[in-house]
Amino acid sequence: MSTSAPAVAGSRQPSADVRGEAARRRTFAVISHPDAGKSTLTEALALHARVIGSAGAVHGKAGRRGTVSDWMDMERDRGISITSAALQFAYRDAVVNLLDTPGHADFSEDTYRVLTAVDAAVMLVDAAKGLETQTMKLFAVCKHRGIPIITVVNKWDRPGMDALALMDEIAERTGLTPTPLTWPVGIAGDFRGVLDRRDGSYRHFTRTAGGATIAPEEVFPADQALAREGDAWTQAVEEAELLAETGAEHDQELFLAGATTPVLFASAVSNFGVGQLLDVLVDLAPAPADRPDADGQPYPLDAPFSAFVFKVQAGMDTGHRDRLAYIRVCSGVFERGMVVTNASTGRPFATKYAQQVFGRDRETIETAWPGDVVGLVNAAALGVGDTLFVDRPVRYPPVTTFAPEHFAVARVADTSKYKQFRKGIDTLAGEGVVQVLISERRGDGSPVFAVVGPMQFEVASHRMEHEFGARISLDSLPYSLAMRTDEASVPAITASSGTEVMQRADGELLALFTTKWVMGMVREKPGVTLEPLIAAQLG
């Protein structure tokens, strides 16, 4: 399902073609607190773009079909997203690259990586719960990165907060001015349709069985809407007029500058309001632009091909156990078969096996343009944050690694499976599922898993057993803090109780501490170097 005509490998596309193709791209992520309906919305968007015939189950319970974007067994069993997923499809004259993200806080690191690869974000807000903790953390990342945000108030078909009160909460907690493009007709729990504030029309939705197909939509002028809905329409009109009086009108420049957020009301599970969101994304979300390199200088869209790796995933193809590197194309045209240079190592990488990704499904792709997400197969030589280029050297900013807060020793349950154990450990470390630390105290045979959230331990254990055939045991360690250190500081650090120094797979030395008090005591020792492990984190 290539989105443009194939190009001959090794050819050079005119800059006008590159900028024209880039202008068609819309690359965005869906962010929210767990259970706000991200994966359901992702499925509904694909349904409205008519790239799937019917939506999957909302919760991946036993015996039900999970959503397209939730492809891991654990995701289907638990009904939550625990890894990011990429979907690409055409809509109108645009090419949409949609990145679904994990909602659970334990997988914030994966979400952060995805947010380095997008040009806009859809912030999903539960109508009953408003802005929740994880939503605010992810909003902070988007704001820090200058990512424009479109807000969708989801689950309006269920009892929830007052619509005006939700607008006040968004304004107060985010600092953005909400500028609703649609306004609900009917209170939360009685979702009849929306008043389209752009033309004053009424868009009435009709439910379908289980929300599995596109909800029929009828458009009525204001006089017919009043006759159909009576007081519900009158209230919607009055509230829309109040919004107009307060200046809550869309301004494209203010939206792109991160000062305002367009708002739509929807029910993803019923497919209400999803078509409007797709249209708003195509009409208002920014196309790819010149991307800053590691020195902060804009790198031109029409420069030779460049991209960066924002995610590595193994185990998607159970038949081949291959490793897929997701790249975001930043400049030029990608052509399958081209040999690119990895800026981190200076080594060439052949792109013979390049694929367009749609959840777990993949299809060979010949060309890709700025904004597109491409999956490179057999990518053992690539790591998260690597920059790829041809002809003109460039390096994009590194992808942040988060400071782990939970630590556990991993041991193989069956020593005859040690080879599979080592392969699994190396794979998980390369993907960034866990950080792998080695301590002299335990040796290579008992690596330490370091994670941001404890559910990452569950994912790692599940994958070690089911993908690599090496069941493991995990024994928790008492540490809760990690700092970067150096060889000269090791004796002084380890002389104190409640400490240990380990080496990460990338060679960094990490000092681990049981409490902030212990870390403070060690920091006061002369000649000890302790540095924060990360430059930035969520929240």
**Residue 371 in domain:** yes
Q: Tell me the chain's radius of gyration from C-alpha atoms.
A: 25
User: For position 432, which CATH number holds?
Assistant: 3.30.70.3280
| Predicted pLDDT of residue 14 | 63
Per the structure block, which two tokens stand in for 425?
A: 């450990």
**Residue 19 in domain:** no
Tell me if 89 sits within 8 A of 116, measured CB to CB: no
Domain final residue pick, 245, 268, 287: 287
**Residue 400 in domain:** no
**Residue 9 binned pLDDT confidence (cut-offs 50, 70, 90):** very low
**Residue 197 binned pLDDT confidence (cut-offs 50, 70, 90):** very high
User: Residues 279-330: pLDDT tens digits?
Assistant: 999 999 999 999 999 999 999 999 999 999 998 876 545 554 567 889 999 9
What is residue 403's DSSP assignment? P
Tell whether 104 is in a known binding site: yes
Does residue 67 have a pLDDT over 50?
Answer: no
**Residue 198 in domain:** yes
**Residue 251 in domain:** yes
Q: Are residues 117 and 46 in the same domain?
A: yes
Better-scored residue on pLDDT, 99 or 2? 99
pTM: 0.78
> Three-state SS across 436-503?
EEECCCCCCCCCEEEECCCHHHHHHHHHHHHCCCCCEEEEECCCCEEEEECHHHHHHHHCCCCEEEEE
Q: Are residues 422 and 367 in the same domain?
A: no
Ranges 134-143, 203-212, 232-241, 500-509: which has the least confidence: 203-212
Q: Are residues 30 and 151 in the same domain?
A: yes
User: For position 58, which CATH number holds?
Assistant: 3.40.50.300
Question: What is the domain extent for residue 462?
Answer: 406-523
Q: Are residues 270 and 296 in the same domain?
A: no
Tell whether 499 is in a known binding site: no
Per the structure block, which two tokens stand in for 70?
A: 């939730």
Q: Are residues 101 and 193 in the same domain?
A: yes
**Residue 78 in domain:** yes
Q: Are residues 299 and 369 in the same domain?
A: yes
Angle between helices 163-174 and 231-245 in degrees, nearest 10: 30
Domain final residue pick, 258, 287, 316: 287
Total number of domains constituting the chain: 3
Domain final residue pick, 266, 287, 308: 287
Q: Are residues 297 and 278 in the same domain?
A: no
Tell whether 506 is in a known binding site: no
List helix spans (H) across 285-398. Answer: none
**What's the distance, Cα to Cα, between the start and end of the chain in Å?**
39
Tell whether 532 is in a known binding site: no
Distance CA(111)–CA(104), nearest Å, equals: 9
| Predicted pLDDT of residue 15 | 67
Tell me if 232 sits within 8 A of 192, measured CB to CB: yes
| Predicted pLDDT of residue 234 | 97
User: Residues 150-167: pLDDT tens digits?
Assistant: 999 999 999 999 999 999
| Predicted pLDDT of residue 1 | 41
Does residue 4 have a pLDDT over 90?
Answer: no
| Predicted pLDDT of residue 6 | 37
Q: Are residues 166 and 280 in the same domain?
A: yes
**Residue 263 in domain:** yes
Tell whether 79 is in a known binding site: no
**Residue 533 in domain:** no
Q: Residue 326: which residues within 8 A CB-CB, separation 6 or more?
A: 86, 117, 309, 310, 311, 312, 313, 357, 373, 374, 375
